[in-house]
Structure 1
């Protein structure tokens, strides 16, 4: 605390991020405890998210933000948030969560000293580029936040980081949970063999190759790749269906496999890869992912775990996880609240976060 803060810190954790916001606040209280009595009882700013009976809404701040360094937390993937509309219960989608971010910025009325949006799952991150006559949703959303006066945007494992080119004058930070995931992985797995002759990292497609290469480099392992051969003549669920996964890499017989990806949606790709690896006589199959969405439920994961095709799935709490997922024997939750609290602490003191974003050294120390 030798550095002077940019401004008094304030955290606005929207309904979608309440649980994570409370954990972050607790860690910040510990970090800033200096016995001077200057640390507030909480950094959280009370808000009220109001919905009218026809679905319209507004956000009301319960206290002033004048001169404060404000951090807005929002999980646009939290589908558990509901409200009453025309007498029925409606689940909030990404569009409504993003609208609430804009409502918060509007409610502040330009009185905050600096506004930072922490959106772990980047809004419309999967619609980051145009192919033919289609919308550029992610780029438009970032530009909208810039026009509203947002100074910084922090997100995790963005589908394509090049989308930040849409806002070249805005501070956009793409963070990765690699260190926290590997720390949890090493702590939880007793029968772990991190050795080039006994373990291999797997990229589920060409798009995830850079991510898998990073894991393999810090763990000192070889890498394998699955190429998704798709049927480009039709579109199902917004994407071309996969015909077959073609494997490129060394023999995996008797080896453990760590499959790396940015997100699990329905899980079909993971299931196909697990079956292909088991056909090649792989021993154990672990999955490490930043976001576990489980868009089609977890019944297949329970089935595959019961059949011994998947041993464990590691994912962060950066987006909503149902209680049934957290309690599943095959799932391990990676808590990112302390990491986010440290990031916010550094940024508020105008310190460089480079030591926190370079995980290679810390992972080497763990190993």
Structure 2
């Protein structure tokens, strides 16, 4: 056996309640990679029990030992479906409570693991990554806290600003992208002609321009940009409201459009852009995103789909997706469990994950085929 293929230690996967479903899928693929029986008798999952007291206090208990294991803690800090009873009322967990459970899990391990790696697909407080005036630096503080607790490796997806790694320069901080899986799902499920005369990639704002440039270059398409004009004199729900979307780019008449972004929150930007594109006589409109949060529900997405303003939304299962969205005609879920299992398998064997990070050639081959 090659020394590069020797495991760092016995693999243990801790899928917290927020990532239970995704964790079970990752475990399934890990068992396939390690040629284990794909049943419940063998599993890489380390069972945990998150206990909540009636006043809201909590603790995490490990149901089996983590001694000597290479532990991977998987947590979806954006899962708003997790609940517990507090003072007789149902309380929905937020990002702060999910992050606290990560720390509780590390504390329960108690330094017995050979290595602890945290996988947060949606990075905790990633929007609060830099200071503008008198405000907190939540993301940097959280990363430093994990480092102090003994976490050496942190893996996340499509982080708002990768420069937040500067907060923990001596620790591993890997920012992964689901581009290949999204493009593969998009191409396989849609009847497309991927040609710059038939299709165009659109960036919904200047912040997403790098992502859109990457999509357009690997797919051989042209790119367009919508610039958000905001009213900086007022603040609504923590942000300056958008006054108008200004378009910069080639004519989209008769063309299929792919809008790419890291996140869909309420969806207002997508709705405004889709409306503007339809005014310019665009043909079909698709949206691809890493995280679909649907913070204000899916009713308006249903309405835009019925009116023919949006054809499809592609998003990963890296964060919680409500059942009504998963079953909607306009929505397509991109499963990332096999990719995550591959990443964990590589790390556990101390193999470089560079081939997984750069999917350029794989996407180009996919487009050609």
TM-score computed with the length of structure 2 as normaliser:
0.97
Matched with 2:101 is: 100
3-state secondary structure, aligned to 1:223: strand
1:261 alignment counterpart? 261
Aligned to 2:24: 22
**Does the 8 Å CA contact 2:36/2:42 hold for their aligned counterparts?**
no
Corresponding residue number in structure 2 for 1:31: 33
1:26-175 equivalences under 5 Å are 26-33=28-35, 41-175=42-176
Please, which of 2, 6, 9 is the counterpart of residue 7 of structure 1? 9
Q: Which residue of 2 aligns with 1:306?
A: 306
- Distance in 2 (alpha carbons) for counterparts of 1:16 and 1:232: 36
Instruction: Give the SS at the match of 1:363.
Output: helix
1:14-63 residue CA offsets vs partner (Å, 9 max, x unmatched): 0000000000000010101179xxxx810000100000000000000011
Q: Distance in 2 between matches of 1:149 and 1:56?
A: 24
Any residues of structure 2 matched to 1:227-266 within 5 Å, and which?
227-266=227-266
Paired with 1:282 and 1:27, the residues of 2 have a C-alpha distance of 40
The answer to whether the 8 Å contact 2:180/2:362 transfers is yes
Report the 3-state secondary structure (helix = DSSP H, G, I; strand = E; otherwise coil) of the residue aligned with 2:194.
coil
**Inter-partner Cα distance in structure 1 for 2:36 and 2:237:** 53
Q: How many residues align?
A: 363
Runs of 4+ in 1 over 2 A off after TM superposition: none
Deviation track 1:130-166 (CA, whole Å, cap 9, x = no partner) reads: 0000000000000000000001000000001111110
TM-superposed CA distance for 1:193, in Å, is 1.5
Q: Which residue of 1 is the match for residue 356 of structure 2?
A: 356
Structure 1-normalised TM-score?
A: 0.98
C-alpha distance in 1 between matches for 2:257 and 2:163: 30
CA shift at 1:298, angstroms? Answer: 0.3
Unmatched runs of 5 consecutive residues or more in structure 1: none
Distance 2:150 2:249 in 1: 48
> Aligned equivalents of 2:265 and 2:82: distance in 1?
19
Matches of 1:272 and 1:53, distance apart in 2: 44
User: For residues 244 and 298 of structure 1, what CA distance do their matches in structure 2 show?
Assistant: 23
Q: Secondary structure at the match of 2:240?
A: coil
Deviation at 1:6, TM superposition (A): 0.1
Describe the SS at the equivalent of 1:225: strand
How far apart, in 2, do the equivalents of 1:187 and 1:83 lie?
A: 40
Q: What are the Cα deviations for residues 308-363 of structure 1, in whole angstroms up to 9, with x where unaligned? A: 00000000000000110000000000000000000000000000000111111111
Q: Secondary structure at the match of 1:126?
A: coil
Deviations 1:99-151 (A, max 9, x none): 00000000011110000000000000011110000000000000000000001
Gap regions ≥5 residues in structure 2:
none
Q: In 2, distance between residues paired with 1:34 and 1:167?
A: 37
Match of 2:214? 214
Question: Using the alignment, how far apart are the partners of 2:12 and 2:139 within structure 1?
Answer: 26
Separation of aligned partners in 2, 1:364 and 1:242: 35
**RMSD (Å), alpha carbons:** 1.2
In structure 2, distance between residues paired with 1:313 and 1:17: 22
Asked if 1:226 is matched to 2:226, the reply is yes
SS of match in other structure, 1:366: helix
Per-residue deviation, residues 204-251 of structure 1 (Å, max 9, x unmatched): 000000000000000000000000000000110110000000000001
Query: What per-residue deviation string (whole Å, max 9, x for no partner) do you get for residues 255-281 of structure 1?
Result: 111000000000000000000000000
